[in-house]
Structure 1
Amino acid sequence: MTLKKIIGKVHLWLGFTSGIVVFIIAVTGCLYAFQAEISKLTGKTYRQVAPQNAPYLQPTQLKDIVEKQLPGKHVHSVQYGARDEAVVATFYNFEPGNEYYYTIYANPYDGAVLKVKNMDRDFFRIVLLGHYYLWLPEAVGQRITIYATIIFVVMMITGIILWWPGNKAAAKQRFSIKWNAAWRRKNYDLHNVLGFYMTWVVIFMAITGLIFGWQLLANAVYKTAGGKKSLTYQEPLSVITKLAQASALPVDKLWGQMQREHKDAATIEMHFPATDKSAIEVAVNTDAATYWKTDYRFFDQYTLKELPVNHIYGRFKDAKGADKLLRMNYDIHVGAIAGLPGKIVAFFASLIAASLPITGFMIWWGRRKKKPSR
């Protein structure tokens, strides 16, 4: 058996072991590619408001309004956007036995509640859980997706080796699909030609996806790039001994400060401290289409003094090259780093990736059923 035949066998059996999982991950990724655009379009009635020549309500005023919609549940944050956008209030608790995840959209000028959304029933939330965990318990599903993605990366490498033409004559047939051929030949070309073009995009999507779920790889990439901070998000603590100096309505005061300091902000998200030791987190993003440039700032809830952090999710101006690389991971994964063209490429790459297990199985099945020549 030649080396290429051995690689072919490896490619085949890896495909059998990971095909269904790869199909689910690719299809859900394809569906999620334009989540932001579709959600904005379909939720136009409650996501957009008529802009007014009036000030926004303060964060604590909005907090009081939205918490009345969900008695017993506590708002985690409120996010302000453009003048014609609703404020987004987020509620969540992931502790077993008392789990919930809601989003409330409200008019930032008068506090009118426009929509109360149970995110556990949201279409794109369900799609995302399938993409991350295959709709299985997190500990089980995440492990399976990691293994399947690693296998898929190996398959892409072995696929390129199998695709590689042996001579110039063969090379002419490897870059285009012969549409006027029999269906078996067309299926073969769909698998090989589209697989070749897709590989150069999807391999980055697969690696960035692995960085999300596989902490060992994330740390290895970060350290190799020269990173020296922690990748684990850890909130700094307020100094509880300074309780007597507590500022009245500290979140509102910081909201005013952020408006003055970040006049170019596309969104400002104010987080309410969960405990008497928690800091007040503020997330300021200058580009609503991506996340990697977001400023994450933390303040003592009593003194309003800004607190330093030793992880990559701090001030953007303090981020080094390795920090920015890891911050970009999500935006690279979904193609948003290159704007709308990047998302379109990611969509079609995911669509082709979803087709490969199907066309690959049909190639195997066709060869299995092929009658031996006389």
Structure 2
Amino acid sequence: MSTRKSTAWKSIRNIFDQIHLYAGLISGLVVIAVCFSGTIYVYNTEIREFMDSELYFVEETGARKSADELKDFLEQSEASNVVGVMWNEEADRSVQFTLKQEGEEGRGTTYYVNPYSGAILGNTSDKTQTAEFMGYMFSLHRWLLLDRIETPILESMGNRDLGRFINGVATLLFLLGVITGIVIWVPNKVKSWKQGLKVKWSANWKRINHDLHNTLAFYSLIFLFIMGATGPFWSYSWYREGWQKTWDIYQEPVAKSEAPGGRGGEGKGGEGRGNGKNAEAEVAATAPAVLSLEDVFTATNAELPYEGNIRVSLPSKASDPVSVSKYRTGFFARSGSDQLTLSSADLSVTEANLFSDLPWRQQVGRSVKSLHVGDIFGQFSKFLWFVACLIATSLPITGTLIWWNKRKKKPAKKKPMQTKVAEMA
């Protein structure tokens, strides 16, 4: 009976070996490019802050100016409206204000400001060499740099979509390689598991390469699985929808409704004009909101009494609410932000979406980006993801070498009988 089981397992394992092999060989080059760029991009924020430190760090000189003083100064000097603020409470850090001109499309321009002097340190419109480099790393990681090619490669889809598709296929094959690797490794090493957890450095290079592939993959297994399982979220809409439904965060797309005040609401004969008081009320409702940022911070900290950075999105209309997000800081800080909606009239909390109040499934579902890039638990998890991504970059290389070394070599040609006799003599 045991012989039959052993034979059956060898057949099953051979199938998984082949799947593992060809999944790795097919996706190898793409996985190397994606994982290499991902290894660098794990520390995207830290690299930018180190290389362009003049934008992010300031000297503590006296008292900080208030957020409202800085806001008024920026709006006057740049002739634009502040639409967002990222307020950092750390003494040696700059603060960020996002400004948009009237009628400007897009997200606007973010300015880095010294909170002590009010000096503008730079803005996102001025691309530094670091920003350019990290942009290339992001493009390589997401679209394999195909978005940088102006001429369409295929008529059926754009270059960015093509890069996203190839990336998704390679990531799914990588995930398949991780799963089959588990099936191959565990039953084979269960009896001699200690040997499977170390590298025999005294052996020849082929054995060392084999041990590096198996051992490093085992130690980083859970991180490789998470990266592989979250990666296709940005490649395929069906995968993204499946993820959202699995973790109970899916919401049906909302159809765009007609803008208020359009032609559909106008009556004949001037019925839609209204009287003077109504017109004044409408103008007041659509005017930009005038709010105290310091009061917004006070209301936020009263509701969320912990240390963290605050991001404020100011409404474009006086009647619209204020959106606030607060992010925890620290070495083990979790990534999920707490979100508040404040009334623009009195800054009372009208809605609070706290990350800790969400069910566990929804916390996982909403953390897909943090799970992928590794900042789910601050700098602690970032380092683990960095090491795991570095290992993932090496796996296609060590795996290919294992396959190359195991190839059947052609048998040496037999020497003629006369030659053998002569050699014996």
Q: TM-score range by the shorter chain?
A: 0.7 to 0.9
Tell me the matched-pair count: 361
Larger mean CA deviation between 216-225 and 341-350 belongs to 216-225
Among 316, 334, 337, the alignment partner of 2:376 is 337
Q: Secondary structure at the match of 2:197?
A: coil
Please state how far the C-alpha of 1:271 moved relative to its aligned partner.
2.6
User: Shift in Å at residue 144 of structure 1?
Assistant: 2.0
Contact kept in structure 2, 1:298 and 1:306, CA below 8 Å: yes
Which of the numbers 227, 244, 251 marks the counterpart of 1:205?
227
Q: In the alignment, what sits opposite 1:257?
A: 296
Q: Is the 8 A contact 1:236 1:278 kept in 2?
A: no
| TM alignment of 1:34-49, pairs within 5 A | 34-49=43-58
Q: Secondary structure at the match of 1:269?
A: strand
Give CA deviations for 1:287-320 in whole Å, capped at 9, x if unaligned: 37757432334467789787769xxxx5547644
User: What are the superposed Cα offsets for residues 77-124 of structure 1, whole Å, 9 maximum, x if unpaired?
Assistant: 33111243211234799xxxx989854311124421112344585132
1:29 matched to 2:38: yes
Structure 1, unmatched stretches of 5+, are none
Distance in 2 separating the partners of 1:319 and 1:286: 17
Structure 2 distance, partners of 1:65, 1:181, is 70
Instruction: Specify the code of the residue in structure 2 equivalent to 1:281.
Output: S
TM-score, normalised with respect to structure 1:
0.78
Q: Which residue of 2 aligns with 1:270?
A: 312
| Change in CA separation of 1:104 and 1:232 when aligned onto 2, cut-off 3 Å | farther
Q: Provide the C-alpha distance between the structure 2 equivalents of 1:75 and 1:18, rounded to a whole number of angstroms.
A: 46
Contact 2:55–2:122 (8 Å) recurs in 1: yes
The alignment partner of 1:9 has SS state of helix
> Closer, same or farther in 2 for the Cα pair 1:119/1:128, shift >3 Å?
farther
Change (3 A) 1:166 1:316: closer
Residue 144 of structure 1 corresponds to which residue in structure 2?
166
Aligned CA distance change for structure 1 residues 165 and 299 (closer, same or farther; 3 Å): closer
1:282 equivalent to 2:324? Answer yes
CA distance in 2: counterparts of 1:257 and 1:9, whole angstroms? 60
The counterpart of 1:106, out of the listed 113, 119, 138, is 113
Q: Does 1:230 align with 2:251?
A: yes
Secondary structure in 2 matching 1:267: strand
The letter for the 2-side match of 1:87 is V
Q: Structure 1 residue 143: deviation in Å?
A: 2.1
Moved more, 36-45 or 2-11: 36-45
- In the TM superposition, what whole-angstrom CA distance separates every residue of 1:167-217 from its partner, at most 9, and x where no partner exists? 777545422211111111111111122122222221012223334544444
Question: Contact (CA 8 Å) 1:335, 1:346: kept in 2 or not?
Answer: yes
Q: Are 2:143 and 1:133 aligned?
A: yes
**1:239-260 CA distance string (max 9 Å, x none):** 9885344498635335523333
Q: Distance in 2 between matches of 1:116 and 1:232?
A: 34
* 8 Å Cα contact 2:168-2:232 kept in structure 1: yes
1:5 corresponds to 2:26: no
Partner of 1:55: 65
Correspondence for 2:422: none
Give the gaps of 5 or more residues in structure 2: 1-9, 148-159, 262-277, 415-425
Distance 1:295 1:5 in 2: 49
Q: Quick one: structure 1 residues 66 and 354, their matched pair in 2 at CA, closer, same or farther if it must change by over 3 Å?
A: farther
* RMSD of aligned Cα (Å): 4.1
Counterpart of 1:177 in structure 2 is 199
2: CA distance, partners of 1:90 / 1:126: 24
C-alpha displacement of 1:4? 2.0
**Larger displacement relative to structure 2 (349-358 or 32-41):** 32-41
TM-aligned CA distance change 1:214 to 1:265, over 3 Å: farther
Partners of 2:286 and 2:318 within 8 A in 1: no
Task: Output the CA distance in 1 between the equivalents of 2:72 and 2:182.
Answer: 58
- How far did residue 128 of structure 1 move? 2.2
1:115 aligns with 2:147: no
What is the deviation of 1:323? 3.0
C-alpha distance in 2 between matches for 1:213 and 1:251: 41
Matched, 1:189 2:197: no
Which residue pairs with 2:88 in the alignment? 81
Q: For 1:231 and 1:35, locate their aligned partners in 2 and report how far apart those are by CA, in whole Å.
A: 33
Partner SS state of residue 230, structure 1: coil
Hey, what does 2:180 align to over in structure 1?
Answer: 158
1:329-366 deviation digits (Å, cap 9, x = unpaired): 33333332333332221111101100011111122222
Change (3 A) 1:87 1:322: same
Structure with larger Rg: 2
Partner SS, residue 336 of structure 1: coil
CA distance in 2, matches of 1:19, 1:270: 43
Following the alignment from structure 1 to structure 2, what is the Cα–Cα distance between the partners of residues 255 and 249?
Answer: 18
Q: Does 1:353 align with 2:363?
A: no
Q: Which amino acid aligns with 1:155?
A: G
Alpha-carbon contact 1:65-1:111 (below 8 Å) kept: no
- Per-residue CA deviations over 1:210-240 (Å, capped at 9, x if unaligned) read 3454444444344444x36638799999998
Q: Which amino acid aligns with 1:105?
A: Y
Following the alignment from structure 1 to structure 2, what is the Cα–Cα distance between the partners of residues 201 and 317? 23
Distance 1:232 1:144, change over 3 A: farther
Distance 1:344 1:57, change over 3 A: closer
3-state DSSP of counterpart to 1:189: helix
Superposition TM-score, scaled by structure 2 size: 0.70
Distance (whole Å) between structure 2 residues aligned to residue 14 and residue 296 of structure 1: 42
